[in-house]
Amino acid sequence: MHKANVLKTRIDALLNVLSEDVLVISQSGTIIFSSHSHSTLPWGSDDALGGKRLNDIFPDAIADLFQGMVNQALSLNQVIIKEVLFDPDQITYLRDRGMSAPCWIEARLAPSAGDEPSVVCRIEDISRRKKVERERSPVQRDLLTGMYNRRALMPVLAQSIAQALRYDWICSLMIIDVDSLRIINEQQGWDEGDQILKRLAESLNSLKRTADFLARVDEDDFAILLPETNQEQGLLAAERVRNMVADLSAPHSGSDVIFTVSIGVATLTGEGDTSEDMYGRAESSLKQAQQQGGNRICGEAE
């Protein structure tokens, strides 16, 4: 076999056993080689990527980020590593290939030794590693908004329930969900979605009473634990939140952040009620509010 063919066969064999994808990207942002016959990433085959420009595949912000890495790798002549969160909702190319969950990618760019200025990029899906890190992490704060997360809320809720049962008090929990954040991200960009989450977090933090406990509990969900609050008062508090969001979105507020929220409220039922039960009931009420079209509040039937 010709020496060059032997080399190519060896390289192909090597690339096929890698779980990562390898792309060679030219200085001008064109993919000149890709290795994905057995890729776990949904990029498609070589043919689908070869010759494509970064801008053909990624939204501008991500294409620019890769291009910046390419330039840096070439000018510094060293490996550049970055973690990037891909949201398939924003990347038609990935969505068309059936990718639905957001996915962390570690992109590692190493300068090539070829004639044409280009870089070798190793792309690895690190979603599983990120998930394990999140689950094991003792961190109790949400990185985007700086608020507590669900991990922090649950023991506080359990303690609040225990106290309320012991001293014959009451407490309520509301879960607030941003309506259609997926569509906002899609139509106005992920950054706009981030601004909405941050703005909402800040406003909830200012609105809540000192004794209330606020947390970002899911992608687009916040929860507020309301001590010494019965169902009627819980529903009133939820109405204040909904009105506050309406004010935030009003044209006169000087903000172009326009969104609505749905809210589910649950109240302690008595002996035997647990934090998981109460949380589940607030979630069911929230679901009801969403099913009724969103921008509304639902509590439990008495």
Ligand X SMILES: Nc1nc2c(ncn2[C@@H]2O[C@H](COP(=O)(O)OP(=O)(O)OP(=O)(O)O)[C@@H](O)[C@H]2O)c(=O)[nH]1
Sites of contact with ligand X (CB under 6 A): 87, 89, 102, 144, 177-182, 185, 190, 193-194, 197, 219-220, 290, 294
CA 25-30-33 angle, to 5 degrees, is: 55
Q: Smallest gap, in angstroms, from Cβ of residue 271 to ligand X?
A: 33
Rounded Cα–Cα distance for residues 61 and 203 (Å): 28
Q: Smallest gap, in angstroms, from Cβ of residue 235 to ligand X?
A: 20
Give the list of residues 6+ apart from residue 44 with CB closer than 8 angstroms, or none: 36, 93, 97
Rounded Cα–Cα distance for residues 261 and 246 (Å): 9
Comparison of 153 and 178: residue with beta carbon closer to ligand X: 178
Q: What is the per-residue DSSP string for 57-79? A: HS-HHHHHHHHHHHHHHHHHTS-
Q: Smallest gap, in angstroms, from Cβ of residue 178 to ligand X?
A: 5
Comparison of 73 and 184: residue with beta carbon closer to ligand X: 184
Q: Smallest gap, in angstroms, from Cβ of residue 117 to ligand X?
A: 35
Closest among 288, 290, 44 to 182, alpha carbons compared: 290
Q: Smallest gap, in angstroms, from Cβ of residue 220 to ligand X?
A: 5
Rounded Cα–Cα distance for residues 255 and 271 (Å): 45
How many Å from the N-terminal Cα to the C-terminal Cα in the chain? 81
* In contact, 228 and 182? CB cutoff 8 Å: no
Q: Smallest gap, in angstroms, from Cβ of residue 199 to ligand X?
A: 12
Which residue shows structure tokens 């000018």?
Answer: 75
Q: Smallest gap, in angstroms, from Cβ of residue 286 to ligand X?
A: 9
Comparison of 63 and 257: residue with beta carbon closer to ligand X: 257
> One-letter amino acid identity for 11?
I
Please tell me what DSSP assigns to residue 53: B
Comparison of 49 and 289: residue with beta carbon closer to ligand X: 289
Residue nearest to ligand X (CB): 193
Comparison of 94 and 164: residue with beta carbon closer to ligand X: 94
Beta bridge partners of 171: 227
Closest among 64, 85, 82 to 219, alpha carbons compared: 85
Comparison of 80 and 245: residue with beta carbon closer to ligand X: 245
Comparison of 220 and 283: residue with beta carbon closer to ligand X: 220
Please, where are the H alpha helices in 82-149?
92-96, 127-136
The dihedrals phi and psi of 179, each to the nearest 5 degrees, come to -70, 135
Comparison of 176 and 225: residue with beta carbon closer to ligand X: 176
The H or E element that residue 123 is part of is strand 118-125
Q: Smallest gap, in angstroms, from Cβ of residue 11 to ligand X?
A: 37
